[in-house]
Structure 1
Amino acid sequence: MIDTSWRIEDPDPDEAEGNGPATGFVSLHFLRSALRRRWKVWVAAAITGLLLGLAWNFGMPAKGHGTVTLLMSHDPATEQTVAMDTDVSLLRTRTVAESVIEDLGLPMTPEELQASITATDLTPSVLVIDVAAPDDASAVARVTALAEAYLSFRADQLESQSQALVAGYEKQMASLKDQSEKLSTQYEALSATGPEGQSRATDALSRRSQVNAEYGRIQQLVEEAELQSNAIIESSHVLDPPSAVPRSAVKRLVLTAGSGLIGGLAIGMGLVLFQALTSDRVRRREEVALALGTPVRYSARKVRGGKAWWRRGARRESRERGLQVLVRGLEPAVSAPRGKTARLALVAVDEIEEAALVTATLGAHLAGLGKKVFLVDLSDSGRLDAAVKKALARQETGEGGRDEPVVFRPEGQPSLARGPVGTAPGMRHALPKDHPRRAAWNRADVVLVLAEVDPAVGVDHLPSWVDRVVLLVAAGRSNAERLRTTGELVRSAGLEPDFAMLVGADRTDESLGRPDPAGSGWTEAEKGSR
C-alpha cells in the first residue's frame, strides 16, 4: 500500500500560468530596463520639478531673518547649562510672544510667532535668537522687540524670585527682632531681682546676643540677594545688536532648483518603478512566446512614427530598419509552389496600425517583385488601403508597369466576413463569383489578410480566407491571459500559428523568444534543432 500522506499534487496548468509568464524575481536588470524604457517619464518629472523650483524661487520672495546675540548672566550657585535651558524656556513663553505681537501690532497668533523663532545657545552664557519674517525690515523689528520683551520678562521673573526670597528673610528678621526684644525685657527684669537672678540675666543676655547676630546675618543675606538679582539683571544685555541675516541669491536659486530637480526625479522614477512592479503586461520575447505557445522569431522596436510633430523625423532610420526586419521575416511565410496561391493572415493582437503598415509594405514589396497580390482588410479601422498607398509611394522608381496590390475590404462587419476558401455551396461569403474583385482573387499569387482578434468574437472566419497565420504582438500592451486566449482562439479555428512577431521590443531584451519545447508552439523540426 502506498502512503499518499506526503504526496504533493501537481499544480493545475491553468493555475500555474495564472500569474503570467513573469518569474516574480525582481533584479537590478529588470529595474534598469524599466527606467531605460520609460526614461521620458522620469526625465519629464525631473524637468518639471526643476521648473517648479525655479518658479518658487522667483515667484515666492525669500523670507527675511533677523538675529540678535544676548549675554546671559546667571546665579553662580546654579549650574550654567540648567540656567541656560531655563532662559530658553522663558523665551518660548506665550507672555513674551503676546508682548511682541502687541508692541508691533502683528496679525498673527503667539503660536505662529513662536514657530518663527529659533534659539541657539552657543555657550552657557551666550544666546543667539533668530526670527523669520516676510522681509528684512520686519525681521529686524521683530527680533528687536523680542529681545526687549524677553529681557524685561526675564528681569521681572528674577525680581519676583528675589522679592520672594527677601520676603522670607524679612519674616525671619521680624521673628528674631521679637525674640531680641523679649530677651531684653527678660534681662532687665532679672537684673532688678538682685544677685539671686544675676546668672539667669547673664544667660538671657547671651541668648539676646546670639539672636542679634543671626538677625545681622540674615540682614546681610537680604542685601546680597538684592545685589545679586540686580547684578544678574544689569549684566544680562544685548551683546550683538539686532541685524538682518545676509543671504545669497545664488545659493537660494541653487537650493530651490536642486530640491525641485531631485524631488521630481524621485517622484518620476518611483512612479515608473511602481508601475513596472505592479503591471501584469508582458513585453519580453520569452514571456510572449510562453503565453502564445508560439515562438517569437522576429522583433523590432518602433516601426511607425509618433503622431506628435516633434517626433515625426526622429529615428527614421531605426523605424525603417525595424519595418524591414518584420517584412523580410514575414516574406518566406508567403512562399508557395508554382501554380499555387500563398494565403497568409497577419493577426494583430494589440496594435492594428503596426500590422497594417507591415502588411501594406510586404504587399507593395511582393508586387514590386512581379507577383500578383491580393490584400484583404478585415480590421474595423480599415486603414490598410491608405497604408498601401503610402507604401507604394515609398517604393523605388524603376518598378513601373508592375501590377499594384488589390485591396479588398468586405462590406458590413469586416471582422466577421467569410471568404471563398472552403465555403459550402450556397453559403454567403464576401467574394461571390459575380463580385468585381473575384477575378483578382482567382489570379492572385499571394493573398495577405489583415485581421485583429476580439476574444468576444473569435477568429472562426479566418480559415475561409487563409491557411497560415502569423501573430503580431505589441510589447507591453497585453497581459499573459489575453495572449493565451488569442493563441487558443486561433488554434480552435483550425489554424496553427507559424510564429509570432513583436513590435515595440526593448533594446535590453536578451531573451530567446521560444516557449518550452513541450508546449504546443513548437514544430517537430524546432524540437529536433534544440
Structure 2
Amino acid sequence: MTTRTTPESSPAVHLLDLHSLVVAVRRRRRLWGTLALLGLLAGAALAVLRPPAPAATATVLVAHQADQPNDTGTLIRTDVELLHTTRIAGQALRALNSPQAPQDFMRDYRGTGLTNNLLKIDVTGASDAQAVDRAEALADAFVADHVRRMREAADAEAKALREQRDRMRDELAQVNAQIGDSSADADPSASAGIESLFARRAELNSRIADFDQRAAEARTGTPKVVAGTQIVDDPRAVRHSLPRTAATDAVIGLVLGLVLGLAVAAVGTVVADRPVLRREIAANLGASVVAEVRRPHRSAAPWRRRRARAARERLTATLARTVRGTSEPVSLLELGCARGASAIALDLARVLAADGPVVVVDALPGARRADRRRKPGDPAVVGPGDAAAVPRGTRRIGVGSLAPGTAWTGLPDLGTRTVLVVRAGHGSAAWLHTVARQLADLLVPVLGVVLIDPDPRDRTDGTLWDGQHMALRGRTERPARQNGTGRAPAERPSWAVRVPDSDQEAR
C-alpha cells in the first residue's frame, strides 16, 4: 500500500494569485533593482555622451482676422501646421542663402501654440549662432507669409464686395431709366408699376451703401492684423544645463528601467510558476512546513545574525527530537539549497553525537559539501559508496538532492524517512509534484518541509491539517493536554512546528 503524499486537487482553481505574484516580484527585487539602476546610469550617460544640439527659440504674436474670445485654439493650430510647410521653410532658406532642402530643414524646427495668439518656434542648428539665424529667418518668413495671406484675403473679399456693388449700380441705372420712361407716359394705369420701381430703387441704394461699407471694413481690418502680427520675443539661444539634463534623463531612465524590471519579473513569475508561499509549497509537496530558516546577509546587523543562529538552533533541536524518536535512518533532501542542507545535517550530527556514533552520508552532486564545513571533532562524512561499510549501530544521516536529474532509486538508501529542505521560489509547481509523487512511489514518508529563505512578509499557513501522519511532533512528542482517551483533541492539532524568526516570536 502506497502512502499518499500528493495533495487533493482544489475544487476552485485561481488563475492568478495576486498575493503570490506580489511576493514573487518582491523576491526578485534584485532583478528589477538592477534594471532600474541600469536605466539610471544609461540616462545619465546618454545626457553626457549625446548632449542636446544647439537650439534657439523665438515667440511670435499672431493676429487673426476672425479672432474670437471663445476660440478653442483652432486658429493657432492652423498656424503651427502652416509653419511646417515647404513654402515657409523655403522662404527661410532663401533668406539664409542655404542650399538645404526644405524637407530636410523642416525636421530641424517645430512650432508650439502657447495661447490662441502666441506661437513659439524652436530651431536647432550646428551652433548657437546658426540656430539663432534660423529662428529669425523662420519668424520673419512666417510673419511675412501671414501678413500676405491676410492682405490677399482682405483684397479678395473687398473685390468681391465691389463687384457686387457695381452689379447693383448697373441694376439701379436700369431701374432709374424705367422710372424716367414711366414718368413720361401719362397712362394712369402705370402708377402701380412706378411705385414698385421706386421701392426697388430704394432697396438697391441701400444695398449699394451696405456693400460700400463692407468693402471699406474689409480693407480697414487688414492694417490691424498686419500691425498685430510681430515678433515679441527676439530669437535667442537656449542654454542647456548639463547637470539638469543628466538628472532629468537619469530619472526618466530610472522610471523606465523600474517599470521594465517589474514587468519582466511579473511575467517571469507567471510563466515560471514557482511557488513562494508556505501554503503553496506545502500543498504542492503534500507535506507541512515545519520550520524555516532565513539566511542573513553578510552585512546584516549583529542582532539579525543572533536571531538567525537562534532559529538554526531551534531547527536542529526539532530535527534531533525526530531522529531520536525513530530507529530508522532519516535523510535530508535539498532542492535549491545544497549548502544549507549540508550545514543543517552537520548541525544535527553534532547534536546527535552526544547519544552515540553518527555518520553523515553525503550524496550531494559534486565535491562533498559537508566536508568543507567540518570542524575538529565533528562526525565523519562518507560518500554513498562507503555507506555500506558503516558499522552497525551507527546512526546515519543522509544528505541528497532533489534537483532535476536525480537518481530516484538511490534515495531510500539515504534514509527511509526524509525531511525536505526547500528554498522558497526555487522549484516549479510541476517539479514539486514530481518530487512528491516519486517519494510516494519509493515509500519514503516525508516528515516535513524545512523552508529556506522564506519571504519575511509571508503570513500564510504552511500546515496541512489533514496530513497528521506526516507530522514531526505527531510522532515524537506527547501532546500538552490529553483527554480521557489519551489522544489529543481533534480540534486543536499541535503537531506542526514553525521555527520563529525572532526572539519575540519565540516567546
User: With structure 2 as the length reference, what TM-score do the two structures score?
Assistant: 0.70
| 1:57 matched to 2:47 | yes
How far does the alpha carbon of each residue in 1:452-471 deviate from its partner, in whole angstroms, 9 at most, with x for none? Answer: 34787764444455443222
Which of 429, 440, 456 lines up with 1:491 in the alignment? 440
Q: How much has 1:116 moved relative to structure 2?
A: 1.7
Cα contact 1:131–1:142 (8 A) shared by 2? no
Cα contact 1:356–1:383 (8 A) shared by 2? no
Match of 2:141 in 1: 149
| 1:74 matched to 2:65 | yes
| 1:109 matched to 2:107 | no
| 1:131 matched to 2:117 | no
**One-letter code of the match for 2:58?**
T
Inter-CA distance 144–359: structure 2 relative to 1 (3 Å threshold) = same
Q: How much has 1:118 moved relative to structure 2?
A: 0.6
Q: Distance in 2 between matches of 1:486 and 1:153?
A: 80
Match of 1:237 in 2: 230
Q: How much has 1:320 moved relative to structure 2?
A: 5.1
How far does the alpha carbon of each residue in 1:63-84 deviate from its partner, in whole angstroms, 9 at most, with x for none? Answer: 5340223252637xx7466698
Q: Distance in 1 between matches of 2:433 and 2:182?
A: 126
Cα contact 2:40–2:250 (8 A) shared by 1? yes
Question: % of aligned pairs identical?
Answer: 21
Match of 1:331 in 2: 320
Match of 2:421 in 1: 472
Cα contact 1:373–1:406 (8 A) shared by 2? no
How far does the alpha carbon of each residue in 1:377-431 deviate from its partner, in whole angstroms, 9 at most, with x for none? Answer: 334x1432x5224322xx5xxx5xxx851413429xxxxxxx7xxxxxxxxxxx4
| 1:377 matched to 2:374 | no
**One-letter code of the match for 1:238?**
I
Q: Distance in 2 between matches of 1:208 and 1:23?
A: 88
Inter-CA distance 90–486: structure 2 relative to 1 (3 Å threshold) = closer
How far does the alpha carbon of each residue in 1:5-61 deviate from its partner, in whole angstroms, 9 at most, with x for none? Answer: xxxxxxx97543896xx896535xx56644553333333333223222322332332
Q: How much has 1:515 moved relative to structure 2?
A: 0.8
Q: How much has 1:351 moved relative to structure 2?
A: 3.4
**One-letter code of the match for 1:477?**
H
Which of 286, 298, 318 lines up with 1:293 in the alignment? 286
Inter-CA distance 271–324: structure 2 relative to 1 (3 Å threshold) = farther
**One-letter code of the match for 1:149?**
A
Inter-CA distance 474–142: structure 2 relative to 1 (3 Å threshold) = same
Inter-CA distance 316–215: structure 2 relative to 1 (3 Å threshold) = closer
* CA RMSD in angstroms, aligned pairs only: 4.9
Number of equivalent positions: 460
| 1:390 matched to 2:373 | yes
Cα contact 1:455–1:485 (8 A) shared by 2? no
Q: Distance in 1 between matches of 2:71 and 2:167?
A: 35
Which of 29, 38, 53 lines up with 2:28 in the alignment? 38
SS at match of 2:426: coil
Match of 1:515 in 2: 464
Match of 1:5 in 2: none
Match of 1:504 in 2: 453
Match of 2:483 in 1: none
Cα contact 1:116–1:133 (8 A) shared by 2? no
Match of 2:254 in 1: 261
**One-letter code of the match for 1:92?**
E
Q: How much has 1:450 moved relative to structure 2?
A: 2.0
Q: Distance in 1 between matches of 2:240 and 2:259?
A: 28
Q: How much has 1:154 moved relative to structure 2?
A: 1.9
Structure 1: 5+ residue runs without aligned partners?
1-11, 412-418, 420-430, 432-437
Q: Distance in 1 between matches of 2:403 and 2:174?
A: 119
Cα contact 2:76–2:115 (8 A) shared by 1? no
Q: How much has 1:475 moved relative to structure 2?
A: 1.4
Is 239-248 or 291-300 further displaced after alignment? 239-248
Structure 2: 5+ residue runs without aligned partners?
1-5, 480-486, 494-507
How far does the alpha carbon of each residue in 1:89-118 deviate from its partner, in whole angstroms, 9 at most, with x for none? Answer: 245222324433554445663795497211
User: With structure 1 as the length reference, what TM-score do the two structures score?
Assistant: 0.68
Which of 333, 338, 357 lines up with 1:347 in the alignment? 333
**One-letter code of the match for 1:45?**
L
